[in-house]
Structure 1
Amino acid sequence: MYLANALKRFRKDFNLTQKEVAAHANVDVRTYQSYEYGKFIPTATVLIAIAEYYDISLDYLVGRTEQTRVNR
């Protein structure tokens, strides 16, 4: 359930709608809503698109690290 909560939290922190995030991730808004409700788990491709949209690391998005940015 961490991922569902994180997706919702990030979207709200960035003041975005579900429709905006869904469009960037190239998924239907209902599909994106199912991610936030914890009904489905996004594919790796979708998670990467969302992490890139928020300019955060994928590990941070999914709760694997407290480091927000990718070391480059």
Structure 2
Amino acid sequence: MYFYQRIRDLREDNDLSQQKVADYPEVTRQQYQLYECGKREMPMHLFIKLADFYKVSLDYLAGRRLHRKDSHS
């Protein structure tokens, strides 16, 4: 799974609009939409902000873990 699918799934699981999520890292809805559909590469600082926003690990967001939280936390 690519991270853009994961950020879409997280947004939908939390019943959030693209605009609501885009407001957190202060990007436009159009920019966020391009990240979410994989048409634009997301900068690392936004990747970190989204992990914080959803309270998930970066590894989960990147698709490197199946579980949202690190089992060592």
Question: Structure 2: where are the runs of 5+ without partners?
Answer: none
CA RMSD of aligned residues (A): 1.4
Cross-structure match for 2:54: 54
Question: Structure 1: where are the runs of 5+ without partners?
Answer: none
Give, as a single letter, the amino acid of the residue that structure 2 aligns with 1:17.
S
Q: CA deviation at 1:36?
A: 1.2
Paired residue secondary structure (1:31): helix
Q: CA deviation at 1:26?
A: 1.6
Higher share of residues assigned helix: 1
Paired residue secondary structure (1:65): coil
TM-score by length of 1: 0.88
Cross-structure match for 2:11: 11
Q: Tell me the alpha carbon deviations over residues 20-57 of structure 1, each in whole angstroms, 9 at most, x when there is no partner.
A: 11010221110000011110111111011111110000
Give the % identical residues.
Answer: 35
Question: Stretches of 4+ moved more than 6 A in 1?
Answer: none
Give, as a single letter, the amino acid of the residue that structure 2 aligns with 1:2.
Y
CA–CA distance in 1 between the matches of 2:37 and 2:67? 25
Q: CA deviation at 1:68?
A: 1.7
Matches within 5 A, 1:1-72: 2-70=2-70, 71-72=72-73
Number of residues paired by the alignment?
A: 72
